[in-house]
Structure 1
Amino acid sequence: RKETNSTVGRIRSHSTISEDGEGATNGTDVVHGFRTKASTAMLPPVMSKKIDSHPLSWLEFQEDCIMTACKDGHVHTWDRPKEGAGENGHNSSGADNSAI
């Protein structure tokens, strides 16, 4: 891929345009610069777990759970760890996932 130094043509949405309460755009736009992948920090994973034999196609974080779906449409709901979880990070109730 060719690296470009310009951000022209890289606006992916109207996120740089602010609106007042009536839907009219304000005269001032806020434009944030583009960061290359090489200049963005990569954080190492805290944990990894194989959740399905099929490729993952969807991931959603809820306040009380994590939901996943595979390419074949299997949806799983994973409970978040509760306070007082064991040293290995597993929930003390033993139920760490359930299929929908």
Structure 2
Amino acid sequence: LLYNLSRNLQALPKRTQEERKFIMRLAPLYEQDREAAIQQGEANLVLRLLKRRFGELPPHITETIQKLSVEKLEDLGEALLDFETQADLINWLNQN
């Protein structure tokens, strides 16, 4: 929604000063939503891969993974390819 509104306003040939200010206020909100969506998508993918490998995960592990940054989720996504047990996952989470 924010993206569409911002794009529509930017497409106007002549924007008023007020419209330009509004666009500037929307930009950080759009970026925050975008970053949150990326993080959530990465977390969901990692959790799906872990569930497939180990079965249902304990809620506290799921919550910990959902709070990881995008960078850490990407690292975990690579590391999980080498995990043989849930203990490997727990060790990784404790070290990172």
TM-score by length of 2: 0.28
Higher relative contact order (CA 8 A, sep 6+): 2
Which protein is richer in strand relative to its size? Answer: 1
Higher Cα Rg, which structure? 1
Structure 1 or 2: more helix by fraction = 2
